[in-house]
Structure 1
């Protein structure tokens, strides 16, 4: 594999694999770089017990190839990490994608040289790769967040991160486990830890809403039906608000009568998953409508958790429901009815320090043999900021994004020609079906790259005013919703100390976003400067 190619792709998740496939299929030479020892992206690293996708498996899969679609049978409604990882391995094998990859390669820097119009990408070992185009499929949730807690390095027991779980599950029987963090991964792993450990203490800073996931195997009959219905299912998803075939109730919550609302909410609760956040069309934009869904969910929490004080601690009081991503679980709330489980509300008793054998708060010391950090990621921008690409005029991404990410369609950054960001800020990304989202963005990028090659274009860069205009549109769309009211959300970067608080995803809907991308391409890539010199 040459160190100089037409395209460099960073990442081997859904977006990275598809980008490699599209580039290679178009006859471009491609080098793909991945820090992990194999394909999978976030699904390689996030292998903690209970890790599972909150989008139905039949939708959370590639749609670009009918034969591929027919070659894989999902075993259950919501696929677990091992099955998703196996699927990505199947895709890599089917299209011989691994031959383009250098695995175990950590990218630490990238710089565009105007003299030759190419990106030079440097790895942690000092090796350099060069290409005209750089596609960063670095992931929204891939840059591990290590909390800066006093004494964390003094802990003498075992330490694990849900975002970098060991390949062999540790033995936790008979041990006292402290779980720090109650986002999606903490909520998924807690019931399993509780069933293994002698004692589990859950340290919660921010309560999150989570909806029980009624997962089940697909029956043979359903699997046949899924394949038969795939064309219509994909058609319904193509320009849908979240990139899935599921819609909302046909009335706004504030316009429906109480029994209608109750029936709709029960239906969505029993279906489970993140779709509860989209029960009604006005749920994410009208606080009165949101309150209806929120109060219903809170009643369900109080129904499940037997101790009313614990139930109250598990109910969020700082954001409308759905404005932080609703989590999905398999028995999370019931876990706190177990005798060996304790919830510590860090709003009431903050952590002072971690000692050699305990977590010490302002009120007590909790002995631990094992610490599990479910502290999430430097989301949306973290992975790319750590590479900190430098443009031809010396502009660094870190500086360009100092006041929040500025992008054109969430795909390009002014000052950084020939660089493309997939599933990053300024796009729907985490608010949509990430697989379909990746396909749409990669297709748009590759069509642009091939157009540029045909025209002899050397550099492609968004005009600064066009990027500022799109970034303003992202902010305007968010302001029409309740999302910015979730002050502690990682959508805003609030989980990372010192990070600028800016709402990063595009909330106008996946279908609307896709139409914007279609329009730009149809208008001969209006907003971009294509330079042939």
Structure 2
């Protein structure tokens, strides 16, 4: 084990949140180190390089809002892929010389609080030990990947990969490929590899109610013109919309519109593409089942028109919705539904023909059929929202691991920190808006809030700050109350609710009240002297 390395602040994770936090901590003059499990910046965009991987937030808002960064950067398309986002992080790194404060290939396995010293001790997988006063978790919501424990998986003679660990330069051409899972990752992968493989077998549990992306190339000269006058307005607008995107929910009740008005509005959102039909349309789809049914019917009819086979229509866009529309994050697709018109593509509904076992030669389903495969790809997602936090053995003032505490439900205050874990914060994590929002929109103001509370402590000779239990219980209860007003529980297998992981507590894991409400809550706490937080005065030598 190496000697202990001392820092004012340690950040874990080098995606948008970790990079922004590093920039903020530098401004405070802190001695800071960012620990990253991977070999480069980018977070999910470092790990996810499977065919088709691309962001579903449209530009210009999927980047940092600092003019010094965006003035010299231009994306080529509205929805960039993983390669271009990696290039963006490389650009930011070079511009700000970030890597000098980053330790790559440094997976943190434990974080232990020392109450007598008001310090955290962090240990990496390699045995490197760090001590720090401030500890910021920027592990995101999708860092712990998940493969279901299928019988016989170890016997498969072909290649098995989870999409988040896609092999470099792996070629699927001419192979018989199986894909398990049709979430956002599955949709992106399937539509990209279907034209290349010899045969594709997709194992679907729940149809993905995907929306048309409407990808566009971006004009370089037009971007340059917009940066001076429009970009600042657009970045400012993010705090005013429900989801931190540039479009917002229409709060007029769906059923108070005429058929003609509603249809034209739906058609407009549909043609605009992206998430306009989801979080740019009528807001009552999230809590009014009848309004939700109307939206689903429009989606269904649009989608079925793209599918040739009647049986396939029912599998992919059933007449009756498999769950309320929009209570699971839709994927954005470009050619997904047309894939199933190809003769070399099979779609297995595992609700009717479940996966019994993985065999040496493929996958056997409950109807007795063995689907012969050369490669098996798991697009089975992640232990979302909480998994990246609970994967680390984090022990606070009472010595109890946070993983044990959250067995019966997540507890946080303002989606920023948790009682008995002083000086530890997280960004874009449990009980924050997280994936209910555009990532950078909420990441930036949350990161700035954390920097401000640290500055407050340093200026007032305070050695630690921790969420009060009463405040955290009230926040967690409020979140679940808001959730109970909506249709979220209508999705049987939803990572929003944690129900995609066997044995995980079923509860809404993210704040569903919208970005403006969340922003007001954390800023009100700060304005009232950080109401709901408990401070400890530093002892003088």
Please indicate, yes or no, whether the TM-score normalized by the shorter chain is above 0.5. Answer: yes
Distance between the aligned counterparts of 1:249 and 1:139, measured in 2? 29
Distance between the aligned counterparts of 1:302 and 1:51, measured in 2? 25
Q: Return the offset for 1:453.
A: 1.1
Secondary structure of 2:46's partner?
A: helix
* Aligned CA distance change for structure 1 residues 384 and 463 (closer, same or farther; 3 Å): same
In structure 1, the residue matched to 2:365 is 361
Distance between the aligned counterparts of 1:248 and 1:459, measured in 2? 40
In structure 2, the residue matched to 1:310 is 312
Matches within 5 A, 1:372-521: 372-521=377-526
Secondary structure of 2:206's partner?
A: coil
Give yes or no for contact 1:190–1:332 (8 Å, CA) kept in 2.
yes
Q: Return the offset for 1:306.
A: 0.6
Matching of residue 322 in structure 1 with residue 332 in structure 2: no
In structure 1, the residue matched to 2:132 is 131
Distance between the aligned counterparts of 1:498 and 1:349, measured in 2? 23
Distance between the aligned counterparts of 1:523 and 1:249, measured in 2? 32
Q: CA RMSD in A?
A: 1.4
Secondary structure of 1:196's partner?
A: coil
Q: Return the offset for 1:532.
A: 1.1
Matching of residue 45 in structure 1 with residue 50 in structure 2: no
In structure 2, the residue matched to 1:71 is 72
Secondary structure of 1:359's partner?
A: strand
Secondary structure of 1:27's partner?
A: coil
Matches within 5 A, 1:26-105: 26-63=28-65, 65-105=66-106
Give yes or no for contact 2:76–2:220 (8 Å, CA) kept in 1.
no
In structure 1, the residue matched to 2:150 is 149
In structure 2, the residue matched to 1:195 is 195
Give yes or no for contact 2:4–2:129 (8 Å, CA) kept in 1.
no
Runs of 4+ in 1 over 4 A off after TM superposition: none
From 350, 375, 378, the equivalent of 1:346 is 350
| 1:7-49: CA deviation from partner (whole Å, max 9, x where unpaired) | 0000000000011111012100001100101111001111111
| 1:381-408: CA deviation from partner (whole Å, max 9, x where unpaired) | 0011010300122122012212111000
Secondary structure of 1:140's partner?
A: coil
Q: Return the offset for 1:222.
A: 3.3
Q: Return the offset for 1:226.
A: 3.2
Distance between the aligned counterparts of 1:82 and 1:171, measured in 2? 17
- Report the TM-score, using the length of structure 1 for normalisation: 0.97
- The size of the alignment, in residue pairs, is 531
Distance between the aligned counterparts of 1:61 and 1:483, measured in 2? 29
Distance between the aligned counterparts of 1:239 and 1:395, measured in 2? 39
Distance between the aligned counterparts of 1:320 and 1:215, measured in 2? 26
| 1:496-520: CA deviation from partner (whole Å, max 9, x where unpaired) | 1111101111111011100001100
Q: Return the offset for 1:225.
A: 4.4
Q: Return the offset for 1:205.
A: 1.2
Give yes or no for contact 1:274–1:325 (8 Å, CA) kept in 2.
no
Secondary structure of 1:195's partner?
A: coil
Q: Return the offset for 1:78.
A: 1.0
Q: Return the offset for 1:489.
A: 0.6
Distance between the aligned counterparts of 2:185 and 2:375, measured in 1? 17
Q: Return the offset for 1:522.
A: 0.1
Distance between the aligned counterparts of 2:160 and 2:226, measured in 1? 42
Q: Which structure 1 segments of 5+ residues have no match?
A: none
Give yes or no for contact 2:106–2:125 (8 Å, CA) kept in 1.
yes
Distance between the aligned counterparts of 2:222 and 2:168, measured in 1? 32
Q: Return the offset for 1:241.
A: 1.0
Secondary structure of 1:389's partner?
A: strand
Distance between the aligned counterparts of 1:527 and 1:53, measured in 2? 35
Once the two structures are overlaid, the 10-residue window that deviates more, 98-107 or 223-232, is: 223-232
In structure 2, the residue matched to 1:286 is 288
